[in-house]
Amino acid sequence: MGVPGMSEAEAPDRLARTISEEGGIAVRVVVGTGLVREAARRHRTSPTATTALGRAMLGSLLLAAGGKSGESVQLQWKGDGPLRGVVAAADDTGRVRGYVGVPRVHPPRVDGELDVHNAVGAGVLTVVRQRPGQQPYTGVVQIVTGTIAQDLTHYLAESEQSHTAIGLGVQEADGGGVSAAAGYLVLALPGASPEEVDRVEQNVQATPNPSELVADGLDASGLAGRLLDGLGQRELHTNPVAFHCGCDARRVASAVRLLGREEIERTVAAEETLEVNCQFCAENYRVGGDELRSLLEEA
């Protein structure tokens, strides 16, 4: 039995990176249909929330892919719209997770399109880059549209002085769900020739929403080639990407310890069970009885 919205030969979730033959243009492409579906399943998101969250997760993967080894990136849209915020975090190995404040928010469509703009609302976008052995770097800009891709382009221009173009898309499947999810980041590197910049700008303008291309059968490598049409490309590097959360019983125990000895003793005496929910993956953990007594012994 098939999965609604899934084609027989669906492009795998992958991230591809390459640069133009002359070395002036860098391209990163991500196909993440499966990981966006997994996030939507876990958080039970509405179509609008799925689109906002999916775009944010794809964007975080694209930003993390340009960092140094071991770097991670967290993006947070804190807007006044009914979603009450969008958060996504990714690392350079292709692992990503995320959540929205109110998963079932689904404003009326505008001209038939999902209204991500008003669902996110006005506010600030915060980008935190965590580098091994260094203090986190935090950049904050105003949300310019709330549609995710333009906000990230604005952030990179304002805070990191990067000349970039970003495209992010999550396409609804007939009858609900996600039929395709993909994105790209095109970056003009120092020393890029005017001819290279002009050509890649033409390519970007001529490129439909990346999720549409993936729904039609294009994979990450094919999308990278389309963006670099006429510019050639050097070696293409690819790696798998996936929804992944690092929460586990050990981390949950650490969180419970923060309640303090007195609260844990009260819970044990009342023979109650603590329920801990991970915001990023919606996994529920139950801690009680012997586990709480063990935490008291370790304290």
Per-residue pLDDT tens digits for 63-83: 999 877 889 999 999 999 999
* Domain covering 14-243 assigned CATH 3.20.20.105 in the classification: no
Q: Are the C-beta atoms of 73 and 90 separated by less than 8 Å? A: yes
pLDDT the model gives residue 6: 44
Tell me the per-residue pLDDT of 225-244, one tens digit each, with 9 for 90 and over.
Answer: 999 999 999 999 999 999 99
pLDDT the model gives residue 1: 32
Token pair in block for residue 128: 């935190």
Q: Both ends of the chain: CA-CA distance in Å?
A: 51
Q: What is the pTM of this model?
A: 0.90
- What are the residue boundaries of the structural domains of the chain, listed by start? 14-243, 249-298
**Among the four given CATH numbers 3.30.450.20, 3.40.50.2000, 3.90.1280.10, 1.10.10.10, the one describing domain 249-298:** 3.90.1280.10
The ranges of the chain with pLDDT < 70 are: 1-9, 267, 297-299
pLDDT the model gives residue 299: 58
Looking at the chain, how many residues does it have?
A: 299
pLDDT the model gives residue 62: 98
pLDDT the model gives residue 60: 98
Q: Which of 97, 82, 113 is nearest to 36 (CA)?
A: 97
Strands 95-100 and 242-243: parallel
pLDDT the model gives residue 7: 46
Q: How far apart are CA 20 and CA 183, in angstroms?
A: 18
